[in-house]
């Protein structure tokens, strides 16, 4: 049932650019640093030299995939990985504005109790506590402040796993992406492999594009088996139209399809923390390639043309999704991180130090591209890959 349609992500009910969201907030106050990766507001204690950041994110539809995997295998520990996704999606976002420690976090769970048992909720809550302690041991100093667990079966088909974080930071330490220069290089940090602080190999999938990853990779056999795992109004031809089963092996990375799609989102906290400790003033911007994949940088800076001409080898999980779903390469780059999920913008003379720090943690890093003027106030992006050259705006 391979699709050949354009814009598959939108036909599945998702958006990589989130145009409706951006339109809804276009008149909302953008905070103290309108060009920063996260909204930054006045310090909660009215200290003039400080500012505050309150941020929310979550695991998205990856929790639905975890539910399916649990039903297939009977292993509830799969939900631990999705908790990491929710936490890291927050932590790595605030890293982009310079927050590296002293972070409050709260968890937010919405479940349909017909499918998500008390045992699963217990596992999730305990993993929030455990992983917060692990990140604290890495130097993040993360304080879990409780949260909300709601039985909302009328609203949620299986499970929503979200989190919120709060931090204060000196204004002088803010990383403001509006300062990205047309002379900067782009240093990428790989999303796949096994870092020194990960216990197992990471496929690099992250936590974006999972709607397309699930439906485009998994067999239509799951359509009738798990009707609770997708939107009932989704046109049938777009529901699980892939060619694989969750427990199919992916030989070159020694993971099953399910394990690859559920690899927990890698945090770059140890790397970014060390980079900012050593050369904070030299970093002009940090971009977390989440919603929008490799297009994320288009939202930051002014009059910049981002040229990515030396990307990492595409991790196997993305080739799997592409081949199974029939998604075009141009759309793949706009939905998924495609091999690196964090970008740092700086003068070329600084890049080597960033790369050396990343390599200490066994995370591949290199200059993946450069910036130049777009000759207007509008941002542009060019991706030059072995699969073609793609232009975005």
Q: How would residue 261 be classed by pLDDT, with cut points 50, 70 and 90?
A: very high
Mean pLDDT of the chain: 95
- For the segment 172-178, the average pLDDT, to the nearest whole number, is 98
**Which parts of the chain are beta strand (E)?**
41-42, 50-58, 103-111, 142-151, 159-170, 185-190, 249-250, 255-256, 285-288, 304-308, 340-346, 365-373, 380-385, 388-392
Q: What is the 3-state secondary structure (H, E, C) of 62-83?
A: HHHHHHHHHHHHCCCCHHHHHH
Provide the residue ranges of all domains of the chain, joining segments of one domain with +. Answer: 8-392
* pLDDT reported for residue 28: 79
* pLDDT reported for residue 14: 74
CATH class of 8-392: alpha beta
- pLDDT tens readout for residues 271-289: 999 999 999 999 999 999 9
In angstroms, the CA 111 to CA 114 distance is 9
* pLDDT reported for residue 364: 98
In angstroms, the CA 157 to CA 188 distance is 37
- For the segment 321-336, the average pLDDT, to the nearest whole number, is 96
* pLDDT reported for residue 21: 64
* Cβ atoms 243, 267 nearer than 8 A: no
Which residues on adjacent β-strands are paired with residue 168?
Answer: 52
* pLDDT reported for residue 29: 85
* pLDDT reported for residue 343: 98
**Which parts of 86-237 are beta strand (E)?**
103-111, 142-151, 159-170, 185-190
pTM across the whole model:
0.94
pLDDT at residue 157 is higher than 70: yes
- For the segment 223-248, the average pLDDT, to the nearest whole number, is 96
* pLDDT reported for residue 251: 86
- pLDDT tens readout for residues 66-115: 999 999 999 999 999 999 999 999 999 999 999 999 999 999 999 999 99
* pLDDT reported for residue 171: 98
Q: How would residue 319 be classed by pLDDT, with cut points 50, 70 and 90?
A: very high
* pLDDT reported for residue 20: 66
pLDDT at residue 6 is higher than 70: no
* Cβ atoms 112, 152 nearer than 8 A: yes
User: Which of 205, 173, 199, 175 lies closest to 316, judged by CA?
Assistant: 205
Share of the chain above pLDDT 90, in %: 91
* pLDDT reported for residue 144: 96
């Amino acid at each position: 049932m391979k699709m050949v349609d354009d814009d598959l992500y939108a036909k599945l009910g998702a958006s990589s650019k989130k145009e409706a969201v951006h339109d809804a907030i276009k008149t909302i106050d953008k905070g103290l640093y309108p060009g920063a990766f996260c909204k930054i507001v006045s310090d909660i204690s009215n200290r003039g030299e400080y500012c505050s950041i309150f941020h929310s994110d979550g695991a998205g539809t990856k929790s639905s995939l975890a539910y399916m995997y649990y039903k297939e295998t009977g292993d509830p520990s799969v939900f631990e990985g999705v908790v990491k996704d929710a936490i890291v999606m927050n932590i790595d976002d605030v890293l982009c504005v310079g927050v590296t420690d002293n972070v409050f976090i709260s968890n937010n769970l919405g479940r349909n109790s017909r499918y998500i048992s008390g045992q699963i909720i217990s596992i999730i809550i305990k993993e929030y506590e455990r992983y917060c302690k692990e990140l604290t041991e890495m130097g993040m100093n993360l304080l879990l402040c409780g949260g909300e667990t709601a039985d909302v079966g009328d609203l949620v088909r299986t499970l929503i796993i979200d989190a919120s974080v709060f931090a204060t930071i000196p204004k002088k330490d803010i990383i403001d992406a509006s300062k990205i220069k047309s002379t900067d290089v782009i240093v990428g940090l790989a999303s796949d492999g096994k870092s020194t602080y990960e216990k197992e190999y990471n496929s690099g999938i992250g936590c974006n594009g999972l709607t397309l990853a699930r439906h485009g990779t998994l067999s239509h056999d799951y359509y009738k088996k798990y009707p609770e795992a997708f939107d009932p109004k989704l046109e049938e031809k777009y529901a699980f139209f892939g060619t694989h089963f969750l427990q199919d092996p992916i030989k070159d990375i020694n993971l099953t399809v399910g394990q690859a799609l559920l690899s927990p989102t890698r945090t770059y906290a140890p790397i970014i923390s060390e980079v900012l400790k050593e050369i904070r003033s030299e970093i002009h911007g940090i971009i977390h390639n989440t919603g929008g994949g490799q297009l994320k940088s288009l939202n930051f800076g002014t009059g910049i043309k981002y040229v990515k001409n030396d990307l990492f080898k595409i991790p196997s999980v993305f080739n799997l999704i592409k081949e199974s779903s029939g998604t075009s390469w141009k759309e793949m780059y706009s939905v998924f991180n495609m091999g690196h999920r964090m970008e740092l913008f700086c003068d070329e003379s600084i890049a080597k130090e960033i790369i050396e720090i990343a390599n200490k943690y066994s995370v591949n890093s290199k200059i993946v591209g450069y910036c130049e003027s777009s000759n207007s106030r509008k941002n542009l992006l060019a991706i030059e890959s072995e699969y073609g050259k793609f232009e975005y705006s």
